[in-house]
Amino acid sequence: QCAARMPEAGAVLDLLEKCPEHQKKGGFPVVVFEGLDATGKTTVTQSVKDTLNGILLRSPPACISQWRTIFDDEPAPIKRAFYAAGNYILASEIAKASTQAPVIIDRYWHSTAAYTIATEISGKVQDLPPAHDEVYQWPEDLLKPDLVLLLTVDPEERVRRLQRRGLEKTKEEAELEANSLFRQRVEESYRRMVNPACQEVDASPSKEEVLKTVLQLIENHCTL
């Protein structure tokens, strides 16, 4: 129904249909970086990619990211369907890339899930589904990464970084800033994700220190 009204939705579905089911990971490690805006994901992912001679991918993937603003203005179910579909299209890119080099990913399934849960559930962190609820489980049919690192910074520092950037805020970023309860729900949802869980990394120190910490975690958890 949505595709009839929105040609972009039809195009996303066409790309999704071309993706093989049950993607298999190649021999190189796949590392995902998660976190709110201005926690340093762009800087860290680029640095890790350069250090490991890796391939950097993002969610939503480049082939559909030009339609992101269109879907962001749609009702929540359509918007979330776009991001969910993006993860499965991205999985197909990860499968191919991980046969060639280490794969570094700026956001993946955990982002889609954390923001969806935080949007659907109003109120405080205590109102979220309990810690072992199935909403925090990784989908069985989606290619899994080897490691997921959640970058976190102090809320005040994150706002300072955003102001220094001077970029136009996304709708979600405006919501995060205006509504500290929403931000807390997103962060707690990230922390409750399992199979794989997120490993938290304090991204407040210098870029060099954060990179050193991240590379150590990758070395400990992945075969390079």
Give the amino acid at 84.
Answer: A
Tell me: pLDDT of 166 over 90: no
Q: Is residue 169 part of a domain?
A: yes
C-alpha to C-alpha distance for 87 and 114, rounded to whole angstroms = 14
Residue 155 · residue 39 · CB < 8 Å: no
Number of independent structural domains in the chain? 1
Q: Is residue 146 part of a domain?
A: yes
State residue 185's pLDDT score. 92
Q: Is residue 224 part of a domain?
A: no
Q: What's the pLDDT band for 181 if we cut at 50, 70, 90?
A: confident
Tell me: pLDDT of 196 over 70: yes
Q: At what angle do helices 76-97 and 109-120 cross, to 10 degrees?
A: 170
Tell me: pLDDT of 118 over 70: yes
pTM summary value: 0.89
Residue 76 · residue 2 · CB < 8 Å: no
Q: Is residue 196 part of a domain?
A: yes
Whether the link from the prior residue into 77 is cis, omega within 30° of 0, is no
C-alpha to C-alpha distance for 23 and 38, rounded to whole angstroms = 31
Range name among 78-87, 113-122, 172-181 with the lowest pLDDT average: 172-181
State residue 21's pLDDT score. 80
State residue 158's pLDDT score. 67
Domain that holds residue 88: 2-219
